[in-house]
Each structure stands twice: as C-alpha cells, then as structure tokens.
C-alpha cells in the first residue's frame, strides 16, 4: 500500500486546477477525554488516512467506542500556486461527528458520516508549517444517527463498525468569485440540457463538447437555469455510455464537468404492463446488491482500480445495474459507473434506535406482514431529532448525487430498518428529483407508495403477485453461499442457502433463474437484484470472494443467465 493512497481527483463532475491531496500518514490518538478539553499532548502513533482506525490498511486496528474521542493531526505546506484567492478544505466523509482546527483556530464542524463537507480556511493559514487537527466522536449503533450496516457487535448481515475519516481529505484554491456547484439536467423531450451555474453573482460561459469537438455553448447568469439545445444528441445507456464534456468559466475560475443524455421513468409496455423506462423505452434492470465493503479498507476501497474492478467485473458478467446498499460511495465510484455504463440504485443510509427483530426479520418468513410505519416507535424512530436528521441527510444526498448520470432509482428505506413515513418521504423525493424513480420501501412493510412494488424473496419460491399499478421489482433474492478455502474473513458463515461445491452452486443458480426468475419477466417483473457482488465478513454469498480474488461461478454460466434477463 502506498504511503499516499487514493491520489486521484476526488470530484470528477467539478474539476479545477489548484488541488492538494492530504491523504497519507497522520498522527492519531484515541482517548476518553472530551473534544472540549482540546487535543492531547502526545499521540498514540500514525494512521494512514483515509482508512478508518478499525481498517487493517490504516495501520491502527483499534475500535473507536462511544464516549471516546479520535484525534488526528498533520502538518502541511501549501503549493506555490495557492497564493491568490481562497483555500477550501474538503472532507469526503467523516463518521460521525467531528470538529476541525487549522493552526489552533476552529474552522468548523460536521455531523453525519456519509456526506462531504468543506470550510474556507484562508484566514487561518500561514506561509508554511500549517497544522490541521480533527476530533471525531462516533456513537455507531448506540445512537440515532445514520450508520448503515455497521454494528459494534458485528455478525451475520451486520458488519464491523468503522469510524473517523474514510474518504479523501483535500484542499483547493479558488478565485474570490468562483463556481460553487453545477446542476446539469438532461431534457430529452426538449432536445437540450439544462445548466445551472451556482455562484453568488456574475455570468458564466458554458461550452459543451463531444469527442473533443465543441457542439454547443451558452451564457449562463449565476443561479439561473439555462437550456442549451442539443439536437440529435447521442443518448447514454449501459450499452453506449456516451458522455458529453462541459467547460465552465466564471471570471478567472475554470471548471470541467460532464453529463449524459438519458431519462429514467415508468410507463406501460406494448401490452400495458408497467415497466421501468430508459430513454422512453422499457429496459430491464439486471442488478447485483453491492455492499461496498473491503477486507482491508472496510468502507474505503483500497484503490481507484479496486472500484473499477467491481463495476467492470459485474458488467462483464452481463449485469446492467448495481444497487448500492445502505452506503454512499466516494464520487469516483459513481464516475466509473457513468463512464463504464452501469445503472445505480442508491439506498439512503438507515439510522434510528435498536431495531425490533419481529419488525425487521419476521416479514422474511411471513411476507404478508405489513406494519404502518407512522407508528415510529415500532421501527426504532421515536426520536424526533433523529427523524429530522435523516430527512436533512436525504435532501443533502439528492443534491450531492443529482448529476450522477447512471443513478436511476432512489431507495429511502430497506426492510424496515429505521423506516418512518415512507409514503410521505417518497413524495418528498419525487419533488426533490422528478427525473428518477423511487423504491419507497425495499423488501417489506410496503406503504403502497412510490413507483415500485419491491419484494425480497429468500426463503420461499418467487411468484409474481397480482398487479397493483406499480412496477414489479425483485429487489433482493438469491444469496446462495459457497465457502472458498483461504478466502474467508468471518468468525462464522452466513448465507441464505449454502452449497458445498462450485458445481452445486452453479446448478442451483441456473435452476433458480430458469424456473422462477426468467418466466416472471413476462408476468410483469422489471428488475432483479441478486445477493450479492462479494462476500462480506461472515456472509459467504457473494459472486466474488471478499478479496475479489475468486469468481465462484463460471463466467459463461452467469452470462448465459443475464443475457436472458431482458424484455423480449
């Protein structure tokens, strides 16, 4: 592992020159003292950022516990071209609550372990020898905050809790007047792309290129959406993931971005069956559940190449979609889905108090059980502040990922984990982002809302239910397990059905699809999500081993199935 991991530019849809990557070796300390007591006089050792202290790649291998504080410290000098304008300090993600100091002056704080944040640190800087200190607290699954599948007592479908900095830390120089963000919305019906340059004032110049040739340009007053015509535009799809390049200038600021011309919606096919539509045509989403965990980095992929490997391998197997499960990835992961042509279903990250087994587990056996999620206490959502925080994070997530070309479906809740008011939340999502579809309650506790009727089937035969006007999707199924000697990381073994040999696993995989899944397509099934991309700790039900070294099934067998997961 490099002493300076993940050096690639972290924000591919808003790129500018003047960039300093701060990943690498920092000092760290873990102790019981409160953040208000100030940083420790001595540190425990070195940690490799951006890997969490619980991750082997960090070099620490220590669990941050509730009530403890994790301290980081490093010094840095600014590049010579950082002399003009402002300096912005960026954190990709820090789990879960943090405060940041630059040269002894507090720059700001943040709560929420999955979204980026930044501070203008210009006034706190000196010419050389700048000192950056970060303090982190993490309640993990003992609080109400969003935590995903982390659990301090890991096991089964719950994984090692992680804490602290887990995405790239970086700084950039920007002019006094600069582009804060872009909104790029393809509008196929109107043969244009709508561009909004978010800045306090001024007029930007927008230039759109295809294959290095300028095809359109426009003036864009700051903060106002401008429609740029693109007649005869080349459409984006998994089979042809064509991307347009965008260059924006505002005063002396220059940024680069990209977009794809595509649309996501629902509508009837020729027989009147509700289907998912891509660019106005029925398109089957053949997907895989993707947890985004790594044996050496936990939440943090060990390299950019590792992210690419996961996406490219699933595409080579014939899958067209990844359901990003209960996690928000670094922006480079979405960039690779955009450019390689892989649809994304994005889960929101669950939180809340401890979940009641009869609420989140019983429906796997008794699928008819459907509880009203306005009864917040049942679902571990009695805490009003926790619900408010979830909705704020939901809105921030939509803005954060709004420009991702490949993102097709929002999934606010999964299997009742911290679910509340899902029908209302689905309506809010539809208002925030009318360009995508919503799976309001993946698995069970359906509130009869959203665009999709979303089922999880593991312990029984899949039979398509009667139509209810929504698009039918099988958003989790399979989970067939196979232990590969020398490639396991868990203390136990978990899988919904386990097989002793690759041949038996392959036969069961083929039989499941031949007998249940493929015949259901003509009866309304419009998307599938097989569990899962890779093993994760105790779970041995991945197509790949946890280290991604072994594909458990023959590639031609998987492709022979995925080639038939489509509309005829």
pLDDT tens profile 335-357:
999 999 999 999 999 999 999 99
Residue 155: per-residue pLDDT: 92
DSSP assignment letter at 385: H
Task: Look at residues 316, 329, 338, 324 and name the one whose alpha carbon lies nearest to residue 289.
Answer: 324
**Helix, strand, coil % over all residues of the chain, rounded to 5:** 20, 35, 45
Per-residue pLDDT of 285-337, as tens digits, reads 999 999 999 999 999 999 999 999 999 999 999 999 999 999 999 999 999 99
Per-residue pLDDT of 219-234, as tens digits, reads 999 999 999 999 999 9
Residue 392 scores a pLDDT above 90: yes
Confidence of residue 369 (pLDDT cuts 50, 70, 90): confident
CA separation for the pair 481, 474 (Å, rounded)? 19
Whole-prediction pTM: 0.97
Query: Do 415 and 396 form a contact (C-beta atoms < 8 A)?
Result: no
Residue 364: per-residue pLDDT: 86
Note the CATH architecture for domain 19-174.
Answer: Sandwich (2.60)
Confidence of residue 1 (pLDDT cuts 50, 70, 90): low
Per-residue pLDDT of 106-149, as tens digits, reads 999 999 999 999 999 999 999 899 999 999 999 999 999 999 99
**Which residues share a beta bridge with 99?**
109, 135
CA separation for the pair 259, 444 (Å, rounded)? 35
Q: What is the CA radius of gyration of the chain?
A: 24
Residue 18: per-residue pLDDT: 83
Element (H, E) at 26: strand 24-31
Q: What is the DSSP string of 415-463?
A: TTTT---HHHHHHHHHHH-TTSEE--SBBS---S-SSEEEEEESSS---
Average pLDDT over all residues of the chain: 96
CA separation for the pair 108, 120 (Å, rounded)? 9
Task: Say which range, 32-41, 206-215, 268-277, has the weakest mean pLDDT.
Answer: 32-41
Q: Which two tokens stand for residue 381?
A: 């959502």
**Which residues share a beta bridge with 158?**
155
Angle subtended at Cα 96 by Cα 45 and Cα 3, rounded to the nearest 5 degrees: 35
Confidence of residue 359 (pLDDT cuts 50, 70, 90): very high
Nearby residues of 439 by Cβ (< 8 Å), 6 or more positions away: 345, 409, 410, 411, 450, 451, 452, 454, 473, 475
Residue 475: per-residue pLDDT: 98
Element (H, E) at 130: strand 130-137
Domain residue ranges in the chain: 19-174, 181-251, 264-312+320-535
Nearby residues of 277 by Cβ (< 8 Å), 6 or more positions away: 263, 264, 265, 266, 267, 283
Q: How many CB atoms lie within 10 A of CB 156?
A: 13
CA separation for the pair 502, 543 (Å, rounded)? 11
Out of 3.40.50.180, 3.20.20.80, 3.90.550.10, 3.30.360.10, select the CATH number for domain 264-312+320-535: 3.20.20.80
Q: What is the mean pLDDT of residues 147-154?
A: 95
Higher pLDDT, 323 or 362: 323
**Which residues share a beta bridge with 422?**
none
Q: Which two tokens stand for residue 48?
A: 């490799």
Residue 171 scores a pLDDT above 90: yes
Task: Look at residues 109, 135, 163 and name the one whose alpha carbon lies nearest to residue 37.
Answer: 135
Give the strand order in the sheet containing 226-229.
181-187, 192-198, 226-229
Higher pLDDT, 293 or 34: 293
Per-residue pLDDT of 58-76, as tens digits, reads 999 999 999 999 999 999 9
> Do the domains 181-251 and 19-174 match in fold?
no
CA separation for the pair 558, 315 (Å, rounded)? 11
How is domain 181-251 classified at the CATH fold level? Answer: Immunoglobulin-like (2.60.40)
Residue 443: per-residue pLDDT: 95
């Amino acid at each position: 592992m490099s002493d300076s991991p993940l050096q690639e530019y972290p924000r591919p849809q808003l790129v500018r020159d003047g960039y300093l990557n701060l990943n690498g070796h920092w000092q760290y300390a873990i102790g019981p003292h409160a953040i208000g007591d100030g940083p420790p006089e001595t540190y425990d050792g070195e940690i490799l950022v951006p890997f969490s202290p619980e991750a082997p790649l960090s070099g620490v291998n220590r669990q941050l516990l509730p009530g403890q504080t994790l301290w980081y410290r490093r010094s840095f000098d600014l590049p010579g071209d950082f002399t003009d304008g402002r300096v912005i300090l960026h954190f990709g993600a820090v789990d879960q609550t943090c405060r940041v100091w630059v040269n002894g002056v507090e720059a700001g704080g943040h709560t929420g372990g999955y979204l980026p944040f930044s501070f203008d640190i210009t006034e706190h800087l000196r010419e050389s020898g700048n000192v950056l200190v970060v303090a982190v607290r993490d309640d993990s699954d003992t609080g109400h905050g969003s935590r995903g599948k982390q659990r301090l007592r890991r096991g089964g479908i719950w994984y090692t809790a992680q804490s602290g900095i887990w995405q790239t830390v970086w700084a950039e120089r920007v002019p006094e007047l600069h582009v804060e963000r872009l909104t790029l919305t393809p509008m196929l019906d109107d043969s244009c792309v709508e561009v909004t340059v978010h800045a306090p004032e001024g007029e930007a110049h927008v230039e759109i290129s295809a294959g290095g040739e300028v095809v359109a340009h426009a003036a864009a007053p700051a903060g106002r959406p401008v429609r740029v015509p693109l007649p005869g535009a080349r459409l984006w799809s998994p089979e042809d993931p064509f991307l347009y390049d965008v260059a924006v200038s505002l005063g002396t600021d220059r940024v680069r971005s990209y977009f794809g011309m595509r649309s996501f919606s629902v509508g009837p096919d020729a027989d009147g069956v509700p289907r998912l539509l891509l660019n106005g045509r029925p398109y089957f989403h053949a997907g895989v559940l993707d947890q985004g965990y790594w044996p050496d980095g936990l939440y943090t992929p060990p390299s950019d190449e590792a992210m690419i490997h996961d996406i490219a391998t699933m595409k080579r197997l014939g899958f067209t979609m990844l359901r990003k499960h209960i996690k928000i990835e670094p922006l480079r992961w979405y960039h690779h889905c955009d450019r390689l042509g892989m649809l994304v279903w994005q889960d929101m990250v669950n939180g809340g108090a401890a979940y009641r087994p009869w609420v989140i587990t019983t429906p796997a056996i008794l699928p008819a059980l459907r509880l009203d999620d306005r009864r917040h206490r049942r679902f571990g959502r009695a805490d009003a502040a926790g619900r408010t925080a979830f909705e704020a994070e939901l809105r921030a997530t939509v803005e954060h990922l709004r420009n991702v070309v490949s993102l097709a479906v929002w999934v606010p809740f999964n299997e009742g984990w911290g679910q509340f008011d899902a029908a209302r939340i689905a309506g809010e999502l539809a208002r925030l982002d009318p360009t995508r579809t919503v799976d309001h309650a993946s698995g069970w506790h359906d509130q009869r809302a959203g665009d999709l009727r979303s089922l999880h089937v593991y312990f029984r035969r899949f039979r398509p239910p009667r139509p209810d006007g929504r698009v039918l999707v099988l958003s989790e199924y399979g989970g067939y397990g196979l232990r590969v000697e020398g490639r396991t990381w868990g203390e136990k073994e978990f899988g919904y059905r386990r097989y002793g040999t690759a041949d038996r696993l392959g036969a069961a995989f083929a039989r499941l699809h031949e007998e249940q899944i493929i015949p259901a397509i003509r009866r309304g099934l419009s998307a599938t999500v097989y569990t899962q991309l890779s093993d994760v700790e105790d779970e041995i039900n991945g197509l790949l081993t946890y280290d991604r070294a072994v594909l458990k099934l023959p590639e031609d067998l998987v492709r022979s199935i995925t080639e038939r997961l489509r509309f005829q």
